[in-house]
Amino acid sequence: MDTKRAKLGELQRESEQADFWSNSSSAQRVMKSLAVLGEEVSSWDDLLRRLDDSQELAALGDESLRAELEAHIRRIEEDLQRRTFATMLSGRYDKDGSILAIHAGAGGTDSQDWAAMLARMYLRWAERRGYVSEELDRTSGEEAGIKSSTISIDGEYAYGYLRSEKGVHRLVRLSPFDAAHRRHTSFALVEVLPLTTMDEVDVKINASDLKMDVFRSSGAGGQNVQKNATAVRILHIPTGIVVTCQNERSQLQNRENALKVLRARLVEMQQARKEEEVAVLRGEYMKAEWGSQIRSYVLHPYQMVKDHRTEFETGNTQAVLDGELDGLMEAYLKSPHNASQGQG
């Protein structure tokens, strides 16, 4: 903590300089670091005060204070467990927000419905944690569900937790879209991208590298929901990445959201390239492709959600689909699979 206090003092002195705001981009970075570090130091100071209070209570030797003391200690232990777990979220972007891109796999209406179920699941999870979520783009299915959805989830450690969800998710159930009510298996792909700030130094987006098209937003069945052309499609020419945003009424807001998603994809591409290079050096590189699922959600003939990377499983499928994902996420983040990702 001494190092953090020293860094906090250094940032505070820097923010007090007369020319501090002459470079607004640099100043904003400093102020963000100042706020994050200040909150961290303050929270540790609070924990130390509570430890001192508990020691003083114990030193009194008053049996009537036992219940109060035990409650104090229990809260401190829970706080320490949370802090210990947070040390596993030490990757460069783990503390940032996240962008989820969910894509229905092969399987027609069933897979599109499954993609919509996943989108709802993650929105419920974000709500449980008090995160701010926003659907940036959605392509509806012809009959039901969605073909794809792009969701922004902003909050501390959102990306750190959500990167455990990256991969193919498999659903087994009796199809509500099959007249014979037969069992169907559906797949959906979840992409997880870091929601980085516009001053991220490693990624530069030049206006000359972008091609932007504007078109009308459309709803399910191709019905126009906007008479004006507000939806935005951006092509990043050097990489070929295409991003579309059409959920806002304002063309400017859709453009800003599209650039936000583009930046996240470029950061992810850069991270993936670095991880591939490290994996090749280790002799363990395997190309990431659409293939085996990371998790199965079985609703028939029994109830089970199982993560195939960690073997963690639960029979409470409804709770999981309602956003109770922390057990599955934490099992992954504590596993060797997470350590091998080269986060940092």
DSSP string over 187-221? EEEEEEEEE--TT-TT----GGGEEEEEE--B-GG
Q: Note down pLDDT in tens along the chain; length 344 residues.
A: 778 888 888 888 888 888 889 888 788 778 877 887 887 788 888 888 888 888 888 888 888 888 888 888 988 888 887 777 777 888 888 988 999 999 999 778 999 999 999 999 999 999 999 999 999 999 899 889 999 999 999 988 999 999 999 999 999 999 999 888 899 999 999 999 998 765 555 678 889 999 999 988 765 444 444 456 789 999 999 999 999 998 777 888 899 899 999 999 998 888 878 777 666 665 654 444 455 799 999 999 999 999 999 999 999 999 999 999 999 999 999 888 776 554 44
CA 255 to chain centre: 21
Task: Measure the CA–CA gap between 258 and 244, rounded to whole angstroms.
Answer: 6
With 0.85 as the threshold, say if the pTM is over it. no
Q: What are phi and psi of 261, to 5 degrees?
A: -70, -40
Q: What is the CA radius of gyration of the chain?
A: 24
Give the β-pairing of 295-298 and 167-174. parallel
pLDDT at 288: 43
Q: 128 with 172: CB under 8 angstroms? A: no
189-211 core/surface letters (b: 16 or more CB in 10 A; e: else): bbbbbbbbeeebeebeeeeeebe
Distance between CA atoms of residues 271 and 268, nearest Å: 5
β partners of residue 184: 173
Q: In 36-131, where do the E strands start and end?
A: 97-104
Could you tell me the domains of the chain?
A: 2-86 (no CATH), 97-195+292-339 (3.30.70.1660), 207-282 (3.30.160.20)
Which residue type, as a one-letter code, is found at position 315? Answer: G
pLDDT at residue 164, rounded to an integer: 94
List the one residue out of 146, 138, 152, 148 whose CA is nearest residue 218: 138
